């Protein structure tokens, strides 16, 4: 239980793990662990701190992923956990509308943090030469927090990638599968 004397203005839910594996070969224990960290821990902490956030008319900031807006082969479990997180953020925001609690959902692309090197699963993601700095991301989040935005996509260009992947889904499927299968065969 949270101490009643604590004053909380902002809750940042930033824990997360990756899982790079096909649905066919995915270990169910890994999938459960992924959802425990990426989704259920966020729900639990938010529920725990919500009375304090309501009192202060504070903010909940959930760190999601571009993978929660589009699907990626061999990242299906991770994508599903982040889709769930996005739905949680959106429905929570609506529920708290009359309480003055701000909910900011972060749709995050590649940031140079070494995230992929610590992911579970047997697949290796394709090399991506681009990734933004953690400092640039922190600046964007702080600005969005101050403006009480609902959601940001960072880096911003990922918004176009999400849109294109939906508009040209069959082409997206072929291209991204080729990148992943080429990456997996070259890493052996």
Annotated active-site positions, please?
A: 78
Tokens 């925001």 found at = 93
DSSP state letter for 121: S
Please give the Cα distance from 130 to 140 (Å, whole number): 18
Element (H, E) at 1: none
Classified as helix, coil or strand, 131 is coil
CA gap 80, 142 in Å, rounded: 27
How far, in Å, CA of 130 to CA of 116, rounded?
14
Residue ranges of alpha helices (H) inside 65-188 are: 76-95, 134-146, 158-167, 169-186
**d(Cα 59, Cα 104) in Å, to the nearest integer?**
7
Q: What is the largest CA-CA distance in the chain?
A: 56
């Amino acid at each position: 239980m949270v101490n009643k004397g604590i004053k909380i203005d902002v809750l940042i839910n930033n824990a997360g793990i990756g899982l790079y594996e096909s649905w066919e070969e995915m270990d169910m224990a890994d999938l459960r662990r992924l959802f425990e960290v990426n989704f259920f821990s966020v729900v639990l902490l938010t529920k725990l701190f919500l009375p304090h956030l309501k009192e202060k008319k504070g903010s909940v900031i959930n760190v999601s992923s571009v993978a929660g807006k589009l699907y990626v082969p061999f990242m299906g479990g991770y994508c599903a956990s982040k889709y769930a997180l996005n739905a949680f953020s959106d429905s929570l925001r609506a529920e708290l509308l009359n309480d003055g609690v701000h909910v900011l959902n972060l749709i995050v692309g590649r940031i140079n943090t070494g995230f992929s090197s610590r992911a579970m699963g047997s697949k290796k993601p394709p090399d991506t030469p681009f990734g933004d700095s953690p400092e640039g991301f922190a600046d964007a989040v702080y600005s969005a927090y101050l403006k009480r935005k609902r959601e940001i996509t960072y880096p911003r260009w990922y918004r176009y990638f999400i849109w294109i992947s939906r508009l040209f889904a069959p082409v997206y499927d072929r291209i991204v599968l080729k990148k992943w299968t080429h990456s997996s065969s070259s890493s052996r």
